[in-house]
Amino acid sequence: MSDFTPLNLTVLTVSDTRTEATDTSGQLLRHALHEAGHSCVDHAIVKDDIYQIRAVASRWIADELVHGILITGGTGFHGRDSTPEAMLPLFDKTIDGFGELFRQVSFEQIGSSTIQSRCVGGIANRTVIFCLPGSNNACQTGWDQIIKPQLDSRQKPCNFVGLITQR
């Protein structure tokens, strides 16, 4: 079995109401990635605004030390939800299967309500990006079922680690 490769990840919470004290989904993701053996090299909370989201994500995408970005929030249809609109233009390639698989896995828990999740994923400048809903349950599901295995260099037959660590 190959060795585990720890990654440098960031967490971005997109919310008009969350603060450092109330950002439970961001805290959950930071804890989960540490438990998996990765490092959270930065985190931020931004308003649900396309340009604020892009500004933070673009800074991390340009940073050669950052391997991945986990975004929580802004993927629904309510009010100012705009994470997909902010991130899709930044992707060099989309990970189409991420949103599809998330909704499939989520269907087991929340039924047809999963169609209201606009999860997206992509690669930008060899940085893998996963955009999740803002609920703790959705973040836990996305991390456990999809993201954690794909960020594990031991996951076979394939994972994203080789792609994002070769700069």
Residues of the chain with pLDDT under 50: none
For 132-164, letters b (16+ CB in 10 Å) and e give bbbbeebbebbbeebbbebbbbeeeeebbbeeb
Q: What is the pLDDT of residue 1?
A: 52
For residue 155, what pLDDT is reported? 95
Q: In angstroms, rounded to a whole number, what is the distance separating the alpha carbons of residues 114 and 140?
A: 15
Torsions phi, psi for 132 (to 5 deg): -115, 160
Q: What is the pLDDT of residues 145-163, one digit of tens each?
A: 999 999 999 999 999 999 9
Where exactly are the structural domains of the chain? 8-165
- The architecture of the domain spanning 8-165 is 3-Layer(aba) Sandwich (3.40)
pLDDT at 166: 84
In 3D space, the residue among 92, 40, 49 whose CA is nearest the CA of residue 69 turns out to be 40
What pLDDT is stored for residue 115 in this prediction? 85
- 105 burial via Cβ count (<10 Å: 0-12, 13-18, 19+): middle
Per DSSP bridges, beta strands 39-46 and 120-124 are: unpaired
Polymer length in residues for the chain: 167
- Contact by Cβ (8 Å): 97, 163: no
| Sequential DSSP letters for 98-120 | HHHHHHHHHHHHHGGGGGG---E
**What are the pLDDT digits (tens) for 44-53?**
999 999 999 9
Per-residue model confidence as pLDDT tens digits over 120-136? 999 999 999 999 999 99
Q: What is the pLDDT of residue 145?
A: 96
